[in-house]
Amino acid sequence: MSQTHLIEAVVEPLRRHPPFDRLPDAALRALAGAARIRHLPAGAVLFEQGARPHDDVYVVRKGAIAVRREVDGASILLDRCDAGAVLGARAHIAGTPYAARAEAEEDALIVALPYARLGPMLEAHPALALFFAAGFAVGLPRTGERIIEATERARRRWALGAEADEDDRAVMPSRSVLTCAGETTVQAAAQAMAARGVGSIIVADAEQRPRGIMTDVDLRARVVAEGLDPARTPVGDVMSSPVATVAEGVTAVELLGRMMRRRIHHFCVTADGTPDTAITGVISDRDVLSSLGTHPTSLMRRIGQAPDAETLRALRARAERLIARYLEQERAMRFVAGVAAAIDDAATRRALSLALEASGPPPVAFCWLALGSEGREERLLRTDQDNALVYVDPPPAQAEAAQAWFLGFGERVTDLIAASGVVLCPGGVMARNPAWCQPLSRWKATFSKWIRTPEPRALMHADIAFDLRPVEGDRALAEALRDHIFAELDAERGFLNFLAANALRNPPPLSFFRQFIVERSGAHESAFDLKSRAMMPLCDAARVLAHAHRLTVYGSTPRRFRALAAAEPERAGLFEEAAVAYEMLMRRRAQSGLAHGDSGRFVPIDELGTLQRRSLRNIFAVIDEVQGVLRSRFRTDFIR
C-alpha cells in the first residue's frame, strides 16, 4: 500500500488526457511505474526525423514541443504539442523511423513511457489501439492538423465506448482462400499467387489446417535474397509460421490491436479459431481497415436505393452521426470532408433520379451543379441548399418549353432534397429559380456580365457561383462554362483585382488576438466569428488565386491551396500551411456546431483552450501572409 502515492502523482496528470483516460487504473499504474521524466531545455531535440524509434513513447507534461518535417529542403511545422500530447508512438506501431523531428520550443518536461510496456497494452485494450489507429486506419497520412488537436482531446467526450457499435461488427473474411501443401515448390506457389493476383498463399496440411503463410515479402527476403532455387525449395522451408488464426465473427476492433502490435497482415479464419481446425477464410489487414471505414460505402449504397425522401432523411441523419464520430475520432479532415461530400452527392443523385422517374426524360442534356460550400465539398453538416442547373441550348422553338420543364424538375429535386433535411436556400440560389436554371448560352452571358461589370451585389453571387462543381449529368457543360469563365478572365483582367480586394475585406484580427491572449480572463462574454474572421479570408483568397492560375480543380479550399502549392513551388510552404489551417478551422467549426446544434460559425471564446488560442493565432499569421500575397499580386489598393 505504501508505494502508491508517488505513482499516483505520475498517473494523475496522464489520466486527464486520451488515450490514458481509457486505460484501466492497474494498466495505467503499471505504465506510470516504468516512466521516466525528462527535462528538455528550449531548443533540445527529443527525436530526429529519420531516426530509429527510441525505446520510449513520450507524453508532454509541461512546455511545448514543435514537430517539424523536412520535405524537399523545406521545414514544415506540423504541430506544436503541449500538455497531454503523445509523441513518437506512430513510429513504433508502424515500425518505421520517426517521420518528423521533435524539438522543445520552450522548456519542457516529458514523461517517457517504455514502448515495451505500452505495446502489449494495444492488444489488451482495444480503445488504445483505436486511439492510435484513428488517424491512419483509413490509409491516409496523419497530418499536422490531427496531431495538433490531439492535446485538446481531453476536453472532449471521446465517443468510442458506448457508441462504438458500428466498429464492433464482425469483419467478413474472404472465402476464396489460396492454399498449397508444404511440399509445393516455391515456384509453383508463386505461379498460383500470380495467377490469382494475390500477395500471399496459405500453407495447409491434408485436413486444410493452416500451417503457415508465404507472402510476397517472404519471397523477396527468404528466397531471392537468400539465393534459394525457387524450383527446388519447398514452401514449407520459407513460410512464416505459425500463422495467426481467429474464429468466425471476430470484430475489426479486436483484430486491430493484434495487427498493430505484432505487425500481422493476414489472419486465417478457422472453425474454432485455433490452427487445429480447417481454414474457412482469410482476413487481411486491408479487410480490417476497410471494415473500420466501410460504413460510408454501405450508407451510400443504401442512399442510392432509397425509395423516398423520408428514407433519405433517415439515412442522412445516420451519415451525420457518422461524420460526428469521425470528428471525435480525429480522422484526417480530408477523409471526413470527403465522406461528407460523397454522401451529399449520393443523396443529391438519388433525389435527381427520383425526380426523373416522376418528370420523365429531359428534353435536352443537363448538368446539376453544386455551388458555394457544397460545391467546395466543405459542407460537413446539413445547412442549406446552394445549387444550379445548366442545360444544352435547345432549338429556339423549344426554348420556352425546355425552361418550363427544367424549372419544374428543379423544383421537384430541391423539394426532395429539402424533405431529406437540407432546407431551401433563403437567398433563392437553387435550380428552381430561373436565375439559376439556364441553358449554357445564358449562363455564359451571366458570367460575362459578372466579370465585365463587377458590382458588389453581383460579386456576392459570383462568390457562390465561382465555386461550382458538377454533381450529375453532362460534365462537359460544366467544363464549357469554366472554359468560358477563364476566357473572360483573360479578356477582363480587372475582375480578379476586384475579387482580390473583396477577399481582403476581412483582415485577420491580429492585434485583437494578441491582446486577447494577454487578457486571459477577460472577453468571456464574446463569441468569435470563425466563419467570417478566419475561414472566409482563406476561402476567398484560394478562389482568387486558383482563378488567377486558371486551375481546373473542383472542390475544397484545402485542395485549391494544395494545387496552388504545386503551381507555385516557391510559396508551397505557405499554401500547404494555409490548407492545413483551413482544415483545422473546418474541424473546429464542425465540432462547435455539433456541440451547440448550430452552424458552428460562432465559437464562444472561453471554450478555446490555450492551444487552440495559440493555433488560432498561428492561423491568423498564415492568413496575414496569404493576404499579403494577394495585396502584392493584385492592385487592390487602387480599388479600395
Partner 1 sequence: MGWWSERRARKARAAARAALEGADPRALRYVERPFALDPRSPAERARFVVLDSEATGLDLAADRLLTVAAVAVVDGAVRVADHVELTIDRPTVGAAPIHGLLPRDLAGGTSEAEAMLGLLDHLEDAVLVAHHVAFDGGMIEAALRRIHPALRLWNPRLDTAALARRLELGPLPVQPSRGASFALDALCDRYGVPMSGRHTAAGDALATACLLLVLLARARRQGIVTVGDLLR
| H or E element, residue 463 | helix 456-465
- DSSP code, position 640: -
- b/e burial code for range 8-23 (CB count within 10 A of at least 16 → b): eebbebbbebbbbbbb
**Number of residues in contact with partner 1 under rule CB under 8 A:** 29
Q: Which of residues 80-99 bind partner 1 (CB under 8 A)?
A: 83
**Residue whose entry in the numeric block shows the C-alpha cell 462554362:** 481
Q: What's the closest the beta carbon of residue 32 comes to partner 1, in angstroms?
A: 6
Sequence-distant (≥ 6) Cβ neighbours of residue 147 within 8 angstroms? 67, 78, 79, 81, 85, 135
Which cell is 409 given? 424538375
Decide: is 30 part of the binding site for partner 1 (CB under 8 A). no
Pick the piece of the chain touching partner 1 (CB under 8 A) from 103-111, 192-200, 453-461, 603-611.
103-111
CA 576/CA 400 separation, integer angstroms: 48
**Residue whose entry in the numeric block shows the C-alpha cell 505504465:** 31
* Shorter beta-carbon distance to partner 1: residue 37 or 317: 37
Q: What's the closest the beta carbon of residue 107 comes to partner 1, in angstroms?
A: 6
Decide: is 8 part of the binding site for partner 1 (CB under 8 A). yes
* Shorter beta-carbon distance to partner 1: residue 32 or 622: 32
Pick the piece of the chain touching partner 1 (CB under 8 A) from 105-113, 250-258, 602-610, 618-626.
105-113
Q: Which of 109, 140, 527, 605 binds partner 1 (CB under 8 A)?
A: 109
Task: Report the side by side order of strands in the sheet with 200-204.
Answer: 179-180, 200-204, 210-215
* Shorter beta-carbon distance to partner 1: residue 38 or 631: 38
Decide: is 26 part of the binding site for partner 1 (CB under 8 A). no
Q: What's the closest the beta carbon of residue 152 comes to partner 1, in angstroms?
A: 18
Q: Which of 18, 19, 63, 372 binds partner 1 (CB under 8 A)?
A: 63
* DSSP string across 193-243: HHHHT-SEEEEE-TT--EEEEEEHHHIIIIIITTT--TTT-BHHHHSB-SP
Decide: is 595 part of the binding site for partner 1 (CB under 8 A). no
Pick the piece of the chain touching partner 1 (CB under 8 A) from 55-63, 131-139, 338-346, 395-403.
55-63
Pick the piece of the chain touching partner 1 (CB under 8 A) from 107-115, 217-225, 550-558, 605-613.
107-115
- b/e burial code for range 522-542 (CB count within 10 A of at least 16 → b): eeeeeebebbebbbbbbbbbb
Decide: is 4 part of the binding site for partner 1 (CB under 8 A). yes
Which of 522, 524, 511, 508 lies closest to 585, judged by CA? 508
CA 258/CA 124 separation, integer angstroms: 9
* Shorter beta-carbon distance to partner 1: residue 82 or 374: 82
Q: Which of 6, 247, 365, 491 binds partner 1 (CB under 8 A)?
A: 6
- b/e burial code for range 432-451 (CB count within 10 A of at least 16 → b): bbeebbbbbebbbebbbebb
* Shorter beta-carbon distance to partner 1: residue 8 or 272: 8
Decide: is 43 part of the binding site for partner 1 (CB under 8 A). no
Q: What's the closest the beta carbon of residue 6 comes to partner 1, in angstroms?
A: 4
Q: Which of residues 262-301 bind partner 1 (CB under 8 A)?
A: none
Decide: is 41 part of the binding site for partner 1 (CB under 8 A). yes
Pick the piece of the chain touching partner 1 (CB under 8 A) from 59-67, 304-312, 404-412, 545-553.
59-67
- b/e burial code for range 134-164 (CB count within 10 A of at least 16 → b): bbbbbebebbbbbbbbbbbbbeeebebeeeb
Decide: is 37 part of the binding site for partner 1 (CB under 8 A). yes
* Shorter beta-carbon distance to partner 1: residue 47 or 495: 47
Sequence-distant (≥ 6) Cβ neighbours of residue 342 within 8 angstroms? 296, 300
Decide: is 5 part of the binding site for partner 1 (CB under 8 A). yes
- DSSP code, position 554: -
What number of residues does the chain have? Answer: 640
Decide: is 74 part of the binding site for partner 1 (CB under 8 A). no
Q: Which of residues 112-131 bind partner 1 (CB under 8 A)?
A: 112
* Shorter beta-carbon distance to partner 1: residue 7 or 419: 7
* Shorter beta-carbon distance to partner 1: residue 33 or 421: 33
Q: Which of 23, 27, 28, 35 binds partner 1 (CB under 8 A)?
A: 35
* Shorter beta-carbon distance to partner 1: residue 87 or 440: 87
* Shorter beta-carbon distance to partner 1: residue 35 or 315: 35
Sequence-distant (≥ 6) Cβ neighbours of residue 415 within 8 angstroms? 432
Q: Residue 371: left (phi > 0), alpha (psi -120 to 50), or beta?
A: beta
Q: Which of 24, 25, 36, 220 binds partner 1 (CB under 8 A)?
A: 36
Q: What's the closest the beta carbon of residue 101 comes to partner 1, in angstroms?
A: 20
* Shorter beta-carbon distance to partner 1: residue 48 or 106: 106
Decide: is 7 part of the binding site for partner 1 (CB under 8 A). yes
* Shorter beta-carbon distance to partner 1: residue 169 or 614: 614
Decide: is 32 part of the binding site for partner 1 (CB under 8 A). yes
Cβ(304)–Cβ(472) below 8 Å: no
Q: Is 182 helix (H, G, I), strand (E, B) or coil?
A: coil
**Residue whose entry in the numeric block shows the C-alpha cell 457561383:** 465
* Shorter beta-carbon distance to partner 1: residue 23 or 572: 23
Decide: is 71 part of the binding site for partner 1 (CB under 8 A). no
Sequence-distant (≥ 6) Cβ neighbours of residue 91 within 8 angstroms? 53, 97, 98, 99
* DSSP string across 40-79: E-TT-EEE-TTPPP-SEEEEEEES-EEEEEEETTEEEEEE
* Shorter beta-carbon distance to partner 1: residue 63 or 508: 63
Which cell is 132 given? 492510435
Which cell is 525 given? 462574454
Decide: is 17 part of the binding site for partner 1 (CB under 8 A). no
Which cell is 364 given? 435536352
Decide: is 9 part of the binding site for partner 1 (CB under 8 A). yes
Q: Which of 22, 27, 58, 61 binds partner 1 (CB under 8 A)?
A: 61
Q: What's the closest the beta carbon of residue 158 comes to partner 1, in angstroms?
A: 22
* Shorter beta-carbon distance to partner 1: residue 63 or 363: 63
Cβ(84)–Cβ(154) below 8 Å: yes
Chain residues in the site for partner 1 (CB under 8 A): 1-10, 12-13, 32-39, 41, 61-63, 83, 106-107, 109, 112
